[in-house]
Homo-oligomer: A and B are copies of this chain.
Amino acid sequence: MLGLMQDAPLLLSGMLEHGARYHGDQLVVSAGLDHGIERLDFRTLAQRCRQLASALLAEGCRPGEVLGSLSWNHHRHLEVFHAVPGAGMVLHTANPRVFPEQIAYALNLSRARWLFVDPDCLELAERLAPDLEHVETWILLARPEDMPATTTLPDPLCYEDLLASGKADWAWPSFDERTASTLCFTSGTTGPPKGALYSHRGSVLQAMAVAGAGVQAYGADDVLLVPAPLFHCNGWSTPYTCPMTGARLVFPGRELEPARLLRLIVEEGVTFAMAVPTVWLSILEILREEGGDLGRLGRIVTGGTAPPEAMMAELERDYGVRSIHAWGMTETTAMATYSHIPPGTPPADRIAIRARQGIPMQGSEVRIVDDEGHPLPRDGAAIGHLQIKGHWMVRDYFRRDDVRLTDDEGWMETGDVATIDSAGAMRITDRSKDLVKSGGEWISSIDLENAAAGHPDVLEAAVIAVPHPKWQERPLLLIVPRPDRAPTAEELRDFLATKVAKWWLPDEIVFVDELPHTATGKVLKTALRERYAKP
């Protein structure tokens, strides 16, 4: 027997219009533009989105087709981000930070005919243009006065002119809530980038969960600093959560120097900020050297890598700033788990809990399994392959029928290995492919790297598995020494012996001048294995 409730689809345009109607005076602050800070209220934002959407349809864009963008964060990109999916089309947010051939590969795969280009990405777009097989229409996210005098792009449209041709009172269409909304590609360390095709339903539910009570829990009195790019994981869902909750959205734009972010935090009255741990480490360094404070900042969300405990402790003790450690990946839309502090936890234990990746939000689930796929206990000790399921997890990659991401029960492989404790808190110990499997036991390359990086002479460390006739695999440690330091293998091995189990100690330590990295700054272990781990 079905209930007798009203049945309307979960659509992203509903979140935007909610912001316009009930938090209409709240602002989107675009701080990264050449001509200065622009402030736009949610009422005007929604109106401009309606104008843009109706203009695109009038120009011949069709519901279901993919449009591309190549842009940093500001209100114009945000408008594209809402207008395209709201009208029933799909926005492919290309990542200007990856290699041009990866951008071209992705845009050719998505067959985008229209491409929105940040004036700041004009040169990149000009370079890409000959390789983009489907792009017919180029739109520069600019005011008429900012249009370039010359460009090799064929007849680019001016965004503001296009928008002005649309209808402010246009009404958003209704359609199946499972309709695709945005398309985001992994930065992929192995093979070509893979696309995650998000849906309205998944994105709405993600936004409701992520901003929810006890999770990130921000409201209309909050001012969010969002360096997280719209082209990655939907900007950590903030384009949706801000209109939903009425929180202010401050986009710092492209340049993310810590000193500039610090200034924005104070000047804009930021209460809640999102950034990777290295940014906070640098900001703390500035504050230690130059004095000052963090203004109204009360909470931060860190992601990308586990936050150092000392950093979280300093932020809380000296500046009253509480850290939330979030974990997610392209395949989980945005945040998948967060560091939850159970009530009654002694203050002294809280920082350590915040260093874990934590628990999933309601609507999703995690588990760990062994190599054969059998579930492992939640005892905080068993290490297994992390699997995840839920409304905002990807089922299959975009146009990649050759890759299987989820099993028959709907569990998605994350490619990470982790422990889960009895309170359900998850801790990632390594990437599956980076594990060293020695004598049937697992050695975490991350834990070993972190231990080595603690040595005062070490700038950077990387661990890979090398084949071994008896133990199957053994760890090889690569070390980049700090300038003017020359640690020996013996010194390092003695140092590590105080930090890790004896059987974890690397048989071989190699000193190098630098390590290869991906475009997004991760150590490129495939290249290291290619060079050092050939059997």
Contact = CB atoms under 8 A, between A and B. Distances in A.
A8 interface: yes
Interface string A163-188: 00000000000001011110000000
A14 interface: yes
Given A208-B212, A212-B245, A343-B246, A199 B396 contact: no
Interface string A227-249: 00000000000000100111110
A359 B22 contact: yes
Nearest to A399: B4
A532 B431 CA distance: 79
B221 A217 contact: no
A393 B5 contact: yes
B214 A212 contact: no
Contact of A5 (B22, B199, B214, B247): B199
A20 to B, nearest CB: 9
A72 interface: no
Contact of A395 (B5, B212, B246): B5
Contacts of A294: none
Interface string A68-82: 000000000000000
Contact of A8 (B209, B247, B389): B389
B216 A6 contact: no
Interface string A194-212: 0011111110010011011
Interface in A234-275: 241, 244-248
A455 interface: no
Nearest to A212: B212
A15 B398 contact: no
Nearest to A420: B21
Contacts of A392: 5
Interface in A490-531: none
Interface band, chain A? 35 or more
A116 interface: no
A398 B396 CA distance: 40
**Total copies of this chain within the assembly:** 2
- Residue among A6, A178, A212, A221 with most chain B CB within 10 A: A6
Given A21-B424, A219-B214, A1 B176 contact: no
A202 B342 CA distance: 29
Given A7-B395, A18-B362, A2 B221 contact: no
A220 B359 CA distance: 13
A360 B205 CA distance: 18
A3 interface: yes
Contact of A64 (B1, B7, B176, B221): B1
A340 interface: yes
Interface in A61-120: 64, 66, 90
A350 to B, nearest CB: 12
A394 interface: yes
A202 B343 contact: no
Nearest to A17: B365
A487 B300 CA distance: 62
A457 to B, nearest CB: 42
A396 B217 contact: no
Contact of A178 (B5, B244, B391, B394): B5
Contacts of A389: 6, 8
Contacts of A199: 2-5
Contacts of A414: none
A392 B6 CA distance: 7
Contacts of A221: 343
Given A212-B212, A246-B343, 16 more contacts: A1-B179, A1-B197, A4-B398, A5-B198, A5-B395, A6-B412, A15-B362, A18-B363, A22-B360, A24-B423, A213-B217, A213-B218, A214-B245, A217-B217, A220-B342, A220-B343
23 contacts: A1-B180, A2-B199, A3-B180, A3-B198, A3-B202, A5-B197, A5-B333, A5-B393, A5-B394, A6-B394, A6-B412, A7-B395, A8-B389, A14-B362, A14-B363, A15-B362, A212-B212, A212-B245, A213-B216, A213-B245, A214-B220, A214-B246, A220-B342
Q: Which 9 pairs across A and B sit closest by C-beta, in order of nearness?
A: A3-B199, A214-B219, A5-B202, A3-B180, A22-B424, A4-B197, A18-B362, A244-B362, A22-B359
Interface of A: 1-8, 10, 14-15, 18, 21-26, 64, 66, 90, 176, 178-181, 196-202, 205, 208-209, 211-221, 241, 244-248, 333, 340-343, 359-360, 362-363, 365, 389-398, 406, 410, 412, 423-424
